[in-house]
Chains A and B, each alone.
Chain A
Amino acid sequence: MKKIAVSLIVLAMIAFGTVDLVAAQKPTILPVGPGVTKEEFEAKRAEIKNSMEQKQTELRSQIETKRAQLKSQIEAKKTELKTRLAKIKDENKKQIVERIYNQVNELNKRMTDHFLNVLEKLEKILERISSRAAKAEANGQDISAVQTAITEATNAINTAKTAVQNQATKVYSVTVNTESTLKTDIGKNRQVLHNDLMAVQKTVRDAQEAVRKAATTLAQIPRVNELEIPTTQPATTTQPTP
């Protein structure tokens, strides 16, 4: 009973941790009031950029911490593999298996880092789309379609980030049964990593497409590139006192 309770608490903590990470990243839509000045707009934009970069750094830091914790696990599995490889007589094959084990985990690290870079780029692009959309809004344009697309893209990026984070903290091992089944067994392990990375890549691609959709929707606003936030506040008319 106690074990079940502890497991449930741990699961809940993991779930809340993930939800918290995703919930922290809201769509980067710049709020533009009717009388906002260029300076105010740029200040707000800088603030959003800083916040975005800070979250990116936090995520990287979380992943690196987890990786550091997993290092000992990877080493332990390597030692375990060496023991299991004792039954293989061919020394060359033993070396190859050990090399594949290292390559598999290295590749996972390399690809998850790459996906994380891509997602960071996508976030920056989305911030630019948001900035341009806000400028259009300040000039009286209807940007509701762009806002929807930005929200969808933000959600897609968050989904991909969670997938990358989960993938980055995985450790892959290789199976060793007999010398005759070595190729098949390790081939299966290789396929597991391939499938996992393909799944993560798909979420990143979906995020890219969502950002592209937001950009395409933005481009449909007439003369969108020419619209800017006015440098000074528009003159206010005073009502004559009766």
Chain B
Amino acid sequence: MDQNIEPKIEPEKKINNKNIITLTIVGLIVILILLGVWYWLAQKNVIPQKVTPTVAPPQPPAAVQPVPPKEDSVSAINQELNSIDLGNLDQEFQAIDADLNSL
């Protein structure tokens, strides 16, 4: 009789391990399904934007570009003449004068 009551520990352990694996797999499947549902819902919620024809705002009339004066016009000639710089001799001599003063 005593021999019949022999504990069977090994098969129980195997059953527990199997259960854990099964539960993990099921859990993963559930998570995947949930992710899939969430993704599907997210895609569904994206409302396509209506393409509304945009009316271009009325362009202001192009500013009238001032016509550059002709190169032989009096204003262009005077402008050129006034831009001529003959140079400042006293300023050009500054370096020489500085050396001269240090002698």
- Name A residues whose Cβ lies closer than 8 Å to a Cβ of B: 93, 96-97, 99-100, 103-104, 107, 110-111, 114-115, 118, 121-122, 124-125, 128-129, 131-132, 135, 182-183, 186-187, 190, 194, 197-198, 201, 204-205, 208, 211-212, 215, 218-219, 224-225
Contacts and interface: CB of A to CB of B under 8 A. Distances in A.
Nearest to A182: B103
A218 B77 contact: yes
A194 B73 contact: no
A107 B76 contact: no
A135 B74 CA distance: 13
A208 B102 CA distance: 37
A107 B96 contact: yes
- Interface residue range, chain B: 20 to 34
Contacts, number: 85
B64 interface: no
Contact of B100 (A186, A204, A205): A186
Contact of A201 (B74, B76, B84, B89): B89
Nearest to A130: B72
A232 to B, nearest CB: 20
Given A194-B93, A224-B74, 5 more contacts: A93-B103, A100-B96, A128-B77, A197-B89, A219-B78
B78 to A, nearest CB: 6
B99 A225 contact: no
Interface string B62-103: 000000011111111110110011110100110111011111
Contact of A212 (B75, B81, B93): B81
